[in-house]
Amino acid sequence: MALVGGAVSIGLLLTGCTPSSGGGGSTENVSQDDIDKAMTTPTKLTFWTWVPDIENEVKLFEEKYPAIDVTVENVGQGLPHYQKLRSAIEAGEGAPDVAQLEYQYIPSFVLNESLLDLTPYGADDLSGDYVDWAWKQVSPADEVWAIPQDVGPMGNLYREDILTAAGITEPPATWDDYAVAAKAVKEKTGSYISNLGATQAGQMIGFFWQAGVKPFGYDGKETVKIDVNSDDAKKVASYWTDLVQQDLISTDVDFQDQWYQGLASGKYAGWLTAAWGPIFLQGTAESTSGLWRAAPLPQWSDGEEVSGNWGGSSDAVLASSKNPIAAYELAKFINNDEPSAMKLATEQFLFPPQVSVLEDPAFVDQESEFYGGQKVNSLFADISKTVDTDFEWLPFMDYVYSTYEETMGTVIADKGDIAAALDEWQDQLVKYAEDQGFTVE
């Protein structure tokens, strides 16, 4: 899952280099004979990932391909992972064969030709195995840059007992309903209906995604689109400004002690989060088991069924790998082999992008005691079908996130005008892009 974006510029942009569509390795299709030879030749691979116990899935791979020996390394999650990966790539040594990448960071590695285009290795054949919007994240054009591993379609986790005490018997269906419910919850229970993390760009971008906002674009070369202050974006921002300024929504920094305590104590009557949230919440607010329920996000128009995404990651093959066939087969196996994919979903609790897992009764029919016996996986599987396919990222999302904290985050924490802060964020991003040599549409 992706909780908080990186806080520094990647330092590997267009200054002093020529932009490229990216990719390394052969452009000719790999034959089955090539694959058979590679997978029976003694080979050592290195895999950088932060997924706990992924050695279990790797063991399945090694059992199928005993000639391949995989070393799994966790070099850190979030910023440390990317710093070490980029340093190794820049140094020309020490980079892994396969690396876990969050979707929003793929373009920055494509920019510098650090990733292997997996199309010649047969990756195109996998496109139908994944929900279409997740596949578009790894293959925005003709190339395939990674294999999807997990995703974060967004929904609404809420305390049924607190909403009932406020006279609310159904989860709000629209954002207008949500605002009315927020007022009732605060007046009658003292709780906030939810929290808007002051520095959490991922959550706000997920709200933009649901609302049809297209804040970013990238052609894979030197042209970017930056439109974080569009009318649609300001509509979303103004909505949250109104709730924050009425003190109906809190703005605590999330994933810190005060926020954890708020989830457990009833300070927040809900959490607008992603599909990785239900399991996370169980560990954070264990004492509230049985009180929570899950629902889709409120909609901008009554009757719609639309969601956004917050988080998720993929496994990519580095262009520098000396064993690209075996590396691709590892990335493919972990995320596409049915037993391995099911382990990721049911043992590591990564929410799956694979259609087969999303339709498997062993996954979707699980009933959760924490959520009153509700089939939460089934709910989010349905939500996953409603995420907009056409959502892109910039090749410098590290900078996007850090400037969000400085501009948007400060204003949200101070209960200021969030829509107005979008203008400052827009100006900073455009200036940075132009300074790095990009053409801004």
Question: 3-state SS of 93-162?
Answer: CCCCCEEEEEHHHHHHHHHCCCECCCHHHCHHHHHHHECHHHHHHHCCCCCCCCEEEEEEEEEEEEEHHH
Nearest to 269, CA basis, from 248, 244, 284: 248
User: What pLDDT is attached to residue 157?
Assistant: 98
- Counting Cβ atoms within 10 Å, is residue 184 exposed (0-12), middle (13-18) or buried (19+)? middle
User: Structure tokens of 210?
Assistant: 């649901």
Q: For 147-163, what is the mean pLDDT?
A: 98
pLDDT at 22 over 70: no
pLDDT of the residue at 7: 32
| Residues making up the chain, counted from first to last | 441
List Cα–Cα distances, 87 to 94, 95, 183, in angstroms. 9, 8, 49
Gap between the terminal Cα atoms of the chain? 31
Q: What is the pLDDT of residue 28?
A: 81
246-249 long-range contacts (CB < 8 A, ≥24 apart) are: 246/183, 247/186, 247/415, 248/179, 248/182, 248/183, 248/185, 248/186, 248/192, 248/193, 249/182, 249/192, 249/193, 249/194, 249/195, 249/196
Contacts of 237 (CB under 8 A, 6+ apart): 418, 419, 421, 422
**Does 23 score more than 50 pLDDT?**
no
Whether the pLDDT of residue 19 is over 60: the answer is no
H/E stretch holding 177 reads helix 175-189
User: Is pLDDT above 90 for 296?
Assistant: yes
In the chain, what is the greatest distance between 2 CA atoms, to the nearest angstrom?
69
Distances (CA, A) of 67 to 44, 71, 95: 9, 13, 21
Q: How confident is the model at residue 218 (pLDDT cuts 50, 70, 90)?
A: very high
Instruction: Report how far residue 2's alpha carbon sits from residue 396's, in angstroms, rounded to the nearest whole number.
Output: 16
pLDDT reading at 10 higher than 50: no
Q: Tell me how far apart the alpha carbons of residues 151 and 103 are, in angstroms, rounded to a whole number.
A: 9
> What confidence score (pLDDT) does residue 21 get?
33
* pLDDT (average), residues 327-344: 98
Distance of alpha carbon 321 from its chain centroid, rounded?
25
| Closest residue by Cα to residue 115 from 140, 151, 80, 132 | 140
**Mean pLDDT value of segment 354-375:** 97
Tens-place pLDDT, residues 56-79? 999 999 999 999 999 999 999 998
Q: Is the pLDDT of residue 15 over 50?
A: no
- Summarize pLDDT for 231-275 with one digit per residue, the tens: 999 999 999 999 999 999 999 999 999 999 999 999 999 999 999
How far is Cα 168 from Cα 251, in angstroms, rounded to an integer? 23
**pLDDT for 3 beyond 80:** no
What are the structural domains, with CATH classification, of the chain?
32-151+312-359 (3.40.190.10), 154-309+385-440 (3.40.190.10)
What would the pLDDT profile of 380-402 be if each residue is shown by its tens digit? 999 999 999 999 999 999 999 99
Per-residue pLDDT of 167-192, as tens digits, reads 999 999 999 999 999 999 999 999 99
pLDDT reading at 51 higher than 80 = yes
The residue-averaged pLDDT of 306-319 equals: 98
Angle 231-245/201-210 helices, nearest 10 degrees? Answer: 120
Can you tell me the distance from the alpha carbon of 224 to that of 220, in angstroms, rounded to the nearest whole number? 9
Note the pLDDT of residue 27. 62
Q: Are 377 and 277 in contact (CB under 8 A)?
A: no
Asked if residue 13 lies in contact with residue 437, where contact means CB atoms within 8 angstroms, the answer is yes
Report DSSP state, residue 388. Answer: -
- pTM for this predicted structure: 0.93
Round the average pLDDT of the chain to a whole number and report it: 94
Q: What percent of the chain stands above pLDDT 90?
A: 93
Residue 439: Cβ-neighbour burial (10 angstroms; 0-12, 13-18, 19+): middle
Non-local CB neighbours of 207 within 8 Å, separated by 6+ positions: 236, 240, 272, 308
Checking if the pLDDT of 375 tops 60, the result is yes
Phi, psi values for residue 364, rounded to 5°: -75, -20
Q: What is the mean pLDDT of residues 341-345?
A: 97
SS3 72: strand
